[in-house]
Amino acid sequence: MNDDLVSLSNCKILIVDDKAENLELLTGFLEAEGYEVAFATSGKEAINIATIFLPHLILLDVMMPGIDGFETCRRLKSLDKVKDVPVIFVTGKAELSDIVEAFSVGAVDYVTKPIRQEELLARVSTHLQLQALINLRDELISTLRDKTLELEKLSKLKEQQLEASQQFSHLGELVGELTHELGTPLSVISTAITHLDDKQKELNQQVQQQTLAKSDLQAFIDNAAQSYDIVLSNLNNAMHLINSFKHIVVGEFSSAITEFNLLDYLHDIQRVLHPKLKRSPHEVQIHCPDGLQITSDAGALSQILINLINNALIHAFAENSSGHILIEVSHQNQQITLSVKDDGRGMSSDTLNKVFDKYYSTRIGQGGSGLGLYIVKNLVEKSLQGHIEVSSQVGKGTHFCITLPQHIHASSTS
């Protein structure tokens, strides 16, 4: 463990298996490496122990009395105290469908029995280090946010610098969420390829020993087809996310006037926000005519919409509620009308009258700069040559309505 990127001393691991011999074997491996170990013999017991022991990692069997490992993992991921604890399945079930199910319920890895000590310890160390790095990143982000708040209180920055910083503040969060979101499809791809490689080695051994049956060959062909489908599906998901992220981020920094399909671009924005939205009880819906081409500043448009969506997620809804955000587009006479509506708690008339004012925020002192909607209004008017209005009633939600020309020319924005 001397080559670990971060210190893993005193890391706690929970082993869940109903077989005493497996518990003894795994405990021996892990305690020899200096880990603190606890164990459970059923899913229900594992959930109870996990919330008290608070492990850094969980090794979980699939086949157990009562609730199985998959259901146990689902329930663990629903508990705030342990939902972020990485789960590695250690099981004798080696079917591809079981591996896919494991990742779908939130596992980070899948190890098949018989257990190979070196492989198990390497995977445990890797995921403990990864989780430690994620925790360190979160601590640094939290510290950075605290320092940013202090700087805002003491701010002697020029207005232009502060506005520019706020304008692109969401990009750092998007980068972190993109990195985390790509972990699942890449892990599935890696596991599927490893699984197929193992099957290929088994097939080659049967050929060498002249024991290959027709049924074995057909099983390998079927297995390979399933593996390729899983790899291609997850690769497509990862590529779509990366491409959407590239379109949004490059556009925001270029300020270029380009022609693009509005519906596709709205879906790109929704896709890069997916990591945040899937952790939220609120839903974003898009209603836009298919095939609608516009010529505009795509980067400014993404900043506006991401800001309005984030604003709704932060301010619009009461705690423990499930809300909806609707993005709706219509066009007539070379004019685009773009609405962003929520069904949240709405705003008072006093707040409504100040919502676009510079430095106005209902969260001053809590991380709010009061620049978000001020910047949105500037971007709509200066970059999109449009107009924005807002209407709201307490208890009935808020509606931002943006009108802009369907086609603008680069020379007219300079």
Residue range 65-102, pLDDT digits in tens: 899 999 999 999 999 999 999 999 999 998 999 999 99
Least confident of 107-111, 230-234, 306-310: 230-234
Bridge partner list, 14: 38, 58
Domain ranges of the chain: 12-126, 249-413
Domain 12-126 class, CATH top level? alpha beta
249-413: CATH number = 3.30.565.10
pLDDT of residue 292: 94
Give dist(CA 61, CA 17) in Å, integer. 5
Strand pairing class (398-405; 387-392): antiparallel
pLDDT of residue 365: 45
Cα 215 → chain centroid:
42
Report the percentage of the chain scoring pLDDT > 90: 38
pLDDT of residue 211: 86
289-303 residue pLDDT tens: 999 999 998 888 888
| pLDDT over threshold 60, residue 164 | no
Q: What is the mean pLDDT of the chain?
A: 83
pLDDT of residue 364: 47
User: What average pLDDT score do residues 7-34 get?
Assistant: 90
Q: Which of 48-52, 165-169, 319-323 has the highest mean pLDDT?
A: 48-52
In this structure, what token pair is assigned to residue 233?
């599906």
User: What average pLDDT score do residues 371-377 get?
Assistant: 76
User: What average pLDDT score do residues 112-116 get?
Assistant: 90
Which residue did the predictor score with more confidence, 374 or 206?
206
| Number of other residues whose CB lies within 10 A of the CB of residue 349 | 9
pLDDT of residue 135: 81
Q: Which residues contact 87 (CB under 8 A, 6 or more apart)?
A: 57, 58, 60, 73, 76, 77, 106, 107, 108
